[in-house]
Amino acid sequence: MNSQENLKTKVAIIGGGPAGLFLSQLLHLHDIESVILERRSREYVLGRIRAGVLEQGTVDLMRRAGIGERIEHEGMIHEGVGIAFENALHHIDLMSLTGGKVVTVYGQTEITQDLYQARDSMDGMIFHEVNEVTLHQLDSAMPYVTFFKDEQSYRIDCDFVAGCDGFHGVSRKSIPQDELTEYHMSYPFGWLGILAETPPVSDEVVYASHERGFSLCSMRNSMLSRYYIQVSLEDQLKDWSDERFWGEFKTRLPAQVSDNLITGSSVEKSIAPLRAFVADNLNYGRLFLAGDAGHIVPPTGAKGLNLAASDVHYLSGALIDYYQSGQEQGLYGYSERALDRIWKSVRFSMWCTLMLHTFSEHTPFERRIQKADLQYLIDSPSAQKMFAENYIGLPY
């Protein structure tokens, strides 16, 4: 094994997904050096199929990061959203309810690709396929990170460490247990999702509540559809042929939607459990958590990627203030500011999940309350305004 190679940077970023790439790009635009460490290959990161509904704040962050050109041409603007229940489709007009605000459908894979291209054009330093990443002296003024790549040992001395490495990453696990409070909640079902090269069944996202379970109609572009159905946690992919999926999916949609459904072979299929998690302290010494390293929300409210973006908004601003003016208030206040928005988004995501999914353990009374909740949303302009305000994204 070769001797250790020493590097030095301002911010060591653990994780090369959207949160880490966004942070590195924004810091670079303010002449703040960073190094990204990612345990997977670039091909793996770009191959992950993830969220696609973007709040306006996320789109604005893309523009600030210098990657707003492609989304302007390829992003799909959605002025409303559909809620289907009891074989009827109801429209919620996001634009009119929020004073002109909308959401944009643009896949996380596309954002990641845009960010990689931006970092490449600026000679950003990204180490892929690293292992044994270890964070040291986080509670001191001189933290550092060690890792291995291709059997070569490295050490990065830095001012700060940004943990953007997801729920299973090393960053959060490096915080002493007595310095961290974690909140967890798991749901008794998951989402079976498929990607199909077919025209979307609707020009807007449709959330459908049905006695057989929840379903979701989404898309990535005009010829790439992303569909989901609620399934048992005991189900496996081998249990679900394409034919079975399409049959069940169509059953859960109202006729005015299912009549437009065009089926085809899936190009990707996966089952993801639904859960919620929040680390109620995103800062320990010189370490700051962002994205899934600090929180996970049920995907029902389309908040996962958008919360990562708002984290980066707060954290990048705090680091820029520190390096440009020596102000530390933003760094000290980062966790509280980010968590205020996180918990509100968790609340919305969990409310949507409870309202739209079928829970086998619910009593007849609870099922009637769920029905009343949906009916109230459909009938009440005030309830729709609350939904729209949260769906398009709370202000930063």
- Are 21 and 36 spatial neighbours (Cβ–Cβ below 8 Å)? yes
Residue 207 catalytic?
yes
Q: Which two tokens stand for residue 31?
A: 């002449």
> DSSP letter string over 37-51?
E-SS-HHHHHH----
Distances (CA, A) of 19 to 138, 144, 247, 359: 20, 20, 37, 33
- Taking the chain, what is the end-to-end CA distance rounded to the nearest angstrom? 48
> What are the Cα distances from residue 28, in Å, to 34, 42, 324?
7, 20, 13
Residue tagged active-site, from 144, 227, 322, 391: 391
CB 36 within 8 A of CB 26: no
Residue 295 bears catalytic tag: no
Catalytic residue among 18, 28, 78, 298: 78
Catalytic site includes residue 299 = yes
Residue 251 C-alpha from the chain's centroid: 29
Per the DSSP assignment, residues forming a β-bridge with 283 are 288
Q: Which of 144, 207, 228, 284 is catalytic?
A: 207
Pairing of strands 206-209, 80-85: parallel
303 assigned to active site: yes
Helix crossing, 304-325 with 56-64: angle to 10°? 40
Question: Helix, strand, or coil here: 155?
Answer: strand
CA gap 94, 394 in Å, rounded: 13
d(CA 290, CA 284): 12
- Find, among 206, 231, 229, the residue nearest to 219 by Cα: 206
Other C-beta atoms closer than 10 Å to the C-beta of 213 total: 22
φ, ψ for residue 362 (rounded to 5)?
-65, 140
Catalytic residue, from 303, 314, 322, 357: name it.
Answer: 303
Is 188 annotated as catalytic? Answer: no
The residues annotated with a catalytic role in the active site are 78, 207, 299, 303, 391
